[in-house]
Amino acid sequence: MGYTSKNTGQADDSILKAWVRDAVRLCELRSVPRFVGFLDERQCAVAAGMLERGVNSMFFGGYEGAERRMLGVFPEDFTAEESAFPIERLVFSYRKTAALSHRDFLGAILSSGVKREKIGDILCGEGIAFVFADREISRFLENQLDKVGGEGVNLLPDYQGETPAVRNFKEIRDTVASLRLDAVVKAAAGVSREQAAKLVESGLVSVNHIARLSVSSQVQENDIISIRGVGRFRLQSVGPNTRKGRIFITLLKYI
C-alpha cells in the first residue's frame, strides 16, 4: 500500500487519511499486517493523529532516527516489531571524488519509474550510499541502478561497514522570556519578535510538522520547529533560568 503526494497541501491529507483508514480496516478484516508509506515526517504526524487508542501500530523507516517511515498496522495479537516491515537496505559504492548527493540518487531512482512512496531515506557518504526501499521494488533497483549523476555505482550486497552520518546540526544557544512560539522562532531565525510573529501568523511556521498560527502556542523540549525559508530546528534543551528569570534554550538547526 502506498501514498503518492505531489505537494503538502490539505488536499493530499484526504488521500493519506483514506490510505490509513483502509490499512486499519483491512488489517481488522483479514488479520494480517498492513503498511502505508514511506511517509515524510509531516505525513507521519497526520497519520499518527488519526490512529485511535488501542490500534496496534508503529512507524519505522529501516533504522533508528529515519525521517521517512512506513506506518505498520498490526492485528491485536501480533507483536509489532521492526523486522515485520517490508524494508530493504541497499548499499551502493562509487568513486569518492564523485561526491554524489541524496538528490542525485533520488533523481536516478524516480527517473526509472519508481514511485516516491517506495523510497525511504537516502544516506550519502564518501563513496557510499544507503538507500532504504520497499522490498517490493528492491530487486528492481539492484538490477537497474548502475549509474547515478553520470557516475557508475556498484551494489554491495554484503556490506558490513559504518553507516553514513544521518544529518548534521548547527547549535544555537539563546535565552527567551517564555516558551511561546514567537519567542522561540525569534531565537531560531535571528529576527525581531515582531518579525517572528509575522512568520507564525502567515502560516510559515510548523511544530512537529503541523502548521501553528498562534504566536502564543507553547513549545517544549524535542519539538521540531520548521520555518519556511529559514530552516528546520529541534528544541534540544530547555533551562535552567537566568537570574533575571529568562530561560536558556538550545536549538539544533538541521544543515
Q: What is the pLDDT of residues 34-53, one digit of tens each?
A: 999 899 888 998 899 899 88
Query: Is residue 8 scored above 50 in pLDDT?
Result: no
* Other CB atoms within 10 A of residue 187 CB: 19
Buried-state track 9-29, b at ≥16 Cβ within 10 A, e below 16: eeebbeebeebbeebbeebee
Split at pLDDT 50, 70, 90, the class of 12 is low
**Per-residue pLDDT at 5:** 41
Domain edges within the chain: 10-84, 87-155, 169-254
Mean pLDDT computed over 227-240? 94
Alpha carbon 24 to its chain's center = 22
Place of cell 507564525: 200
Which homologous superfamily does the CATH classification assign to the domain defined by 87-155?
Answer: RRM (RNA recognition motif) domain (3.30.70.330)
**Per-residue pLDDT at 52:** 84
Mean pLDDT computed over 133-152? 95
Alpha carbon 37 to its chain's center = 11
Cα torsion through 17, 33, 133, 118, rounded to 10: -30
Sign of CA dihedral 217, 223, 228, 231: positive
C-alpha to C-alpha distance for 22 and 76, rounded to whole angstroms: 16
Residue type, 218: Q
The reply to whether CATH 3.40.50 applies to domain 10-84 is no
Assess whether the previous peptide bond of 240 is cis (omega < 30° from 0): yes
pTM: 0.72
Q: What is the pLDDT of residues 82-117, one digit of tens each?
A: 999 999 999 999 999 998 999 999 999 999 999 999
Residues 6+ apart with CB under 8 A from 243: none
Which homologous superfamily does the CATH classification assign to the domain defined by 169-254?
Answer: RNA-binding S4 domain (3.10.290.10)
